[in-house]
A and B are shown apart, each in its own frame.
Chain A
Amino acid sequence: MPEILTDAALEAEFRTLAARAGVTVPEERMANILLGYADFRAQLELLRGIGRDHTAEWSNIFRLPTPGDAA
């Protein structure tokens, strides 16, 4: 199940991550950023929920099939 955070926990988490990145977030921009972060974090939860382990295909190289590949 996706993790549900309270608004305060979401803000605290975001502030920690922004601080780790070394970026000073203007306070007047925080409300919109948190709106976007809540939405983006829900997508990250979907990604984290796929549940791949060591048996999953390993690939981090972008490769397009080419016309010479098996049809």
Chain B
Amino acid sequence: MSEISIAEAGRQLRAGATTSAALTEVALARIAEVDPKVNAFITITAERARADAARADAELAAGVDRGPLHGVPYAIKDIYDTAGIRSTCHSKLRVDNVPAEDSVAAAKLAASGGVLLGKLGTHEFALGGPSFDLPFPPARNPWNTGHIPGGSSSGSGAAIAAGITRLAMGSDTGGSIRGPAAYCGTVGFKPTYGRVSRRGVFPLSTTLDHIGPLTRTVEDTAIALQLLAGHDPMDPASADTPVGDYLADLEKGVAGLRIGIPRAFFANAPGADPEVIAAIDRVADALRAAGAMVEDVTLPSYGAFSTCGRVIMLCEAFAIHEADMRARPLDYGRLTFERFILGATVTGPDMIQALRLRRELTDAVQGVLQSYDALITASSLVTAPRFDETPPAMLAGAPMQTMPFNVTGHPALSVPTGLSTAGLPMGLQVVGRPFDEATVLRVGRAVEVLSGWEGIALPMV
């Protein structure tokens, strides 16, 4: 299944060349084989998966076709509510939480005829990790299990890279989809703020939270986004904006497109891995050769975005966790507590200045995107660190380059650019105009082709 795209699985299902039950058994067997090594799953819903698959096969036999995910296995990060299935946020505080209702995204995936394999590991409450003091072990990177898979959608990245499933849902408040995508060699998409309903997904920071898919390919992501996008009047952040056709232009290439690169963001940043930067430069050259106009552009300093995003995130997160931080501090993992408590040190004026700064940063990015169809920049300055290389505290100089587009809300897609000499994935981000996910996916598809990533096999776990 892992090397068969969602679209190809759909073709085979409709041609009678395979069944959803067969696809599901392959996925469950792969979980049994590799999950003890990568810890992608918190809960495996084998019984539910087999029931979903049987229903999908029966419906197809009866001529009922729910669309491109019909009969295809997927998995969901464990901060999404799933009716009747525990949804723990990877935390002792919610280890027995069994929601009565699905989150909107979980309901949409179920209604599309997909097969739920289970719930995926995360950093605790989408922030604290990787940690060894939580009820479940941290996910590991399938390319090298001594390395982190990135977070917080750590199980989602690991499940895709381990060849368990083609679609894993994640969430992204400062890079929690794009980071694991970059470290695990998957595609990861944070759509525009408001594009996909977050209702029923446990919040980390309500004005920075986005949800979206991690997948093996850009086409898989386009299919998933088509199912997930749309207005939800019950999510106050949801935008009532028309949903595009995310597959129509996917193969159009980049000829004639204008693409900006804010090289100052990443090229000379402290700690930047020359291999990661060189891979981005190679892709930029390939995009030029394919007919795009690619130019350096200037954005505000990375530090301004990082400061703005971190202040807002920690302040909003503490507001959500304030009561439990007072009443049950020791029930949080060490890293989680140490990060959330910083939100208590933000003053009212600090938060107001951060919100003012956010507006200015958003306008600055939008100003650049008036002249460019998309931007490309690093997802991370480095490849996945080893577990023993992760810093003891959450520091501003972290290698992720993803926070700016949580601050501004622009759509941002992480796409692999190749493997390092150490055999670890590298990636870049494609950023686009608000609600223009179609162009982001089109550029991302070109990067996928031009980088040669399509020819790279999944790791042997």
Contact = CB atoms under 8 A, between A and B. Distances in A.
A50 B394 CA distance: 24
A19 to B, nearest CB: 10
Nearest to A33: B338
B37 interface: no
A48 B353 contact: yes
B123 to A, nearest CB: 15
Most buried by B among A50, A62, A67: A62
Interface string A32-49: 110111011111101110
Contacts of A71: 370
Contacts of B339: 36
Contacts of B352: 60
Interface stretch (B88-96, B154-162, B281-289, B302-310): B302-310
B192 interface: yes
Contact of B346 (A25, A32, A33, A44): A44
Contacts of B341: 18, 21, 23, 25, 33
A46 B358 CA distance: 14
B7 interface: no
A51 B338 CA distance: 29
Contact of B350 (A14, A37, A48): A48
A60 B207 CA distance: 11
Contacts of B360: 57
A61 B159 CA distance: 37
Nearest to B391: A35
A66 interface: yes
Nearest to B301: A46
Nearest to B369: A65
B330 interface: yes
A65 to B, nearest CB: 5
Q: Is the interface of B mostly helix, strand, loop or mixed?
A: helix
A58 B394 CA distance: 31
Contact of B194 (A18, A26, A64): A64
B162 to A, nearest CB: 31
B395 A67 contact: no
Contacts of B355: 59-60, 62
A29 interface: yes
Given A43-B306, A60-B352, A33 B396 contact: no
Contacts of A24: 326, 329
A43 B194 contact: no
Nearest to B363: A65
A33 B395 CA distance: 11
Contact of A23 (B207, B304, B325, B334): B325
Contacts of A67: 241, 433-436
Contacts of B370: 71
B357 A50 contact: yes
Nearest to A60: B355
A39 B396 contact: yes
Given A29-B338, A36-B395, A59-B355, A43 B311 contact: yes
Contact of A32 (B239, B359, B392): B392
Nearest to B206: A62
Contacts of B353: 47-48, 50, 52
B356 interface: yes
B12 interface: no
B61 interface: no
B344 interface: yes
A70 B345 CA distance: 39
Interface string B305-349: 011101100100010001001100110001001110110111001
Contacts of B342: 33, 36-37, 40
A25 B353 CA distance: 28
Interface string B6-38: 000000000000000000000000000000000
Nearest to A22: B326
A32 B338 CA distance: 7
B248 interface: no
A43 B306 CA distance: 9
B362 interface: yes
B409 interface: yes
A9 interface: no
A46 B307 CA distance: 8
Given A21-B344, A23-B344, A36-B342, 7 more contacts: A36-B395, A40-B394, A43-B307, A44-B346, A62-B359, A67-B241, A67-B433
17 contacts: A18-B344, A21-B344, A29-B337, A32-B338, A35-B392, A39-B397, A40-B345, A43-B310, A44-B350, A47-B350, A48-B353, A52-B356, A59-B355, A62-B207, A64-B362, A65-B434, A69-B366
